[in-house]
């Protein structure tokens, strides 16, 4: 099944949605992406609504409304590493090789992205990112099962939290903020102090919003919280927890192979000469004292349950 190549964004997206409403599929088969309608919409930047995200979503990329697989990660809490291990495990389980490359300038923001052989299982949660993914991966098979990912604690509507089973990753807030500051560029932040405020605001917002949501018993009972530090110490156990939480049905041994293939050393080797990539931490530099002091002041004083968990 493909998106009707009619060149009209709205009609193409609606046709694609109709093509997805078909009998259930087995894992790793069948649907491929042809991004005519999605491409037009993505270029115009118009895929921004809850209805639009439904229209462009590939099969079982409707996890928010059905199976509820949403990976929501605090920035700089191992997002791309965890994303890669999950993609690798699903690819291996489908009979793929689990090989991958670091494709340059592939996201809407112009960042690099890990691209695996075989079907694509991980899809951006925000409409603009999803539309862009449909364009860059047009013609590629859509995996089953799939999950969505992003940094944003999306509002009800873009994500149906009544049915969702989110996996939320957290990290010590100061370390996350410091890592984000290094990613954005220390000199750049010193020249634009408001951007440093935005770094701290983003960390605080993530922890505050999720703290409130997880305090709701109906939502908290459906979420799995993963600490970055625990993930680094024992990635296999945490992948198995996520598998059980989402009902992925991948063998534990396959997750073990995914951990090996996506080890820190293997991913650094895959990055090759791309030493400027933000997709793998290649060394930390000290923050200027005034910057570290500000981030400590903002992050150490957060009073949320997730802040306590993340810093424990």
Residue 154 vs residues 50, 75, 150, 275: alpha-carbon distances, Å:
11, 14, 9, 32
Q: What is the CA radius of gyration of the chain?
A: 19
Quote the CA–CA distance of 214 and 202 in Å, as a whole number: 18
Sole residue written with tokens 């489908």: 94
Residue 157 vs residues 21, 53, 127, 162: alpha-carbon distances, Å:
20, 10, 12, 10
Coil, helix or strand at residue 113 = strand
In a domain, 109, yes or no: yes
The DSSP code sequence of 255-270 is HHHHHHHT-HHHHHHH
**Which helix (DSSP H) or strand (DSSP E) does residue 176 occupy?**
helix 173-184
Helices 79-93 and 264-271, packing angle to 10 deg: 90
Residues with Cβ within 8 Å of 63's Cβ and at least 6 positions away in sequence, in order, are: 69, 70, 145, 146, 147, 148, 164
β-bridge partners, 72: 150, 168
In a domain, 2, yes or no: no
Range of the domain at 283: 9-311
In a domain, 133, yes or no: yes
Helices 235-246 and 252-261, packing angle to 10 deg: 130
In a domain, 3, yes or no: no
Domain count, the chain: 1
Single pTM value for the model: 0.79
Residue 20 vs residues 3, 9, 159: alpha-carbon distances, Å:
9, 17, 18
CATH number of the domain encompassing residue 29: 3.40.50.300
In a domain, 50, yes or no: yes
One digit per residue, the tens of pLDDT, for the chain of length 312 reads 332 333 333 444 444 344 433 333 344 444 555 443 444 444 444 444 445 445 555 444 444 445 678 999 999 998 889 999 999 999 999 999 999 998 888 888 888 899 999 899 998 888 888 889 988 998 888 888 888 899 988 777 667 777 788 999 999 999 999 999 988 888 999 999 899 999 999 999 999 999 888 888 888 889 999 999 999 999 999 999 999 999 999 999 999 999 999 998 898 888 877 766 766 665 667 899 999 999 999 998 887 676 556 655
In a domain, 1, yes or no: no
């Amino acid at each position: 099944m493909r998106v009707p190549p009619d060149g009209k964004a709205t009609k193409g997206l609606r046709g694609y949605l109709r093509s997805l409403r078909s009998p259930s599929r087995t894992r790793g088969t069948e649907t491929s992406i042809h991004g005519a309608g999605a491409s037009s919409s993505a270029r115009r930047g118009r895929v921004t609504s809850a209805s639009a995200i439904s229209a462009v979503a590939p099969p079982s990329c409707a996890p928010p409304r059905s199976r509820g697989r949403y990976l929501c990660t605090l920035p700089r809490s191992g997002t791309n590493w965890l994303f890669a291990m999950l993609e690798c495990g699903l690819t291996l389980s489908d009979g793929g090789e689990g090989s991958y490359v670091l494709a340059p300038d592939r996201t809407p923001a112009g960042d690099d992205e890990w691209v695996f052989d075989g079907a694509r299982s991980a899809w951006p949660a925000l409409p603009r990112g999803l539309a862009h993914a449909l364009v860059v991966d047009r013609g590629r098979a859509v995996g089953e099962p799939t999950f969505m990912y992003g940094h944003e604690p999306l509002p009800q509507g873009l994500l149906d939290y009544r049915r969702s089973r989110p996996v939320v990753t957290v990290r010590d807030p100061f370390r996350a903020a410091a890592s984000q500051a290094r990613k954005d560029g220390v000199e750049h932040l010193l020249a634009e102090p408001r951007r440093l405020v935005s770094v701290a605001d983003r960390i605080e917002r993530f922890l505050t919003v999720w703290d409130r949501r997880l305090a709701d018993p109906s939502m908290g009972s459906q979420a799995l919280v993963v600490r970055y530090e625990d993930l680094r110490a024992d990635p296999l156990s945490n992948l198995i927890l996520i598998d059980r939480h989402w009902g992925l049905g991948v063998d534990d041994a396959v997750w073990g192979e995914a951990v090996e293939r996506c080890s820190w050393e293997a991913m650094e080797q895959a990055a090759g000469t791309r030493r400027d990539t933000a997709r793998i931490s290649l060394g930390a530099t000290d923050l200027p004292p005034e910057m570290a002091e500000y981030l400590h002041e903002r992050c150490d004083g957060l009073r949320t349950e997730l802040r306590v968990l993340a810093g424990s």
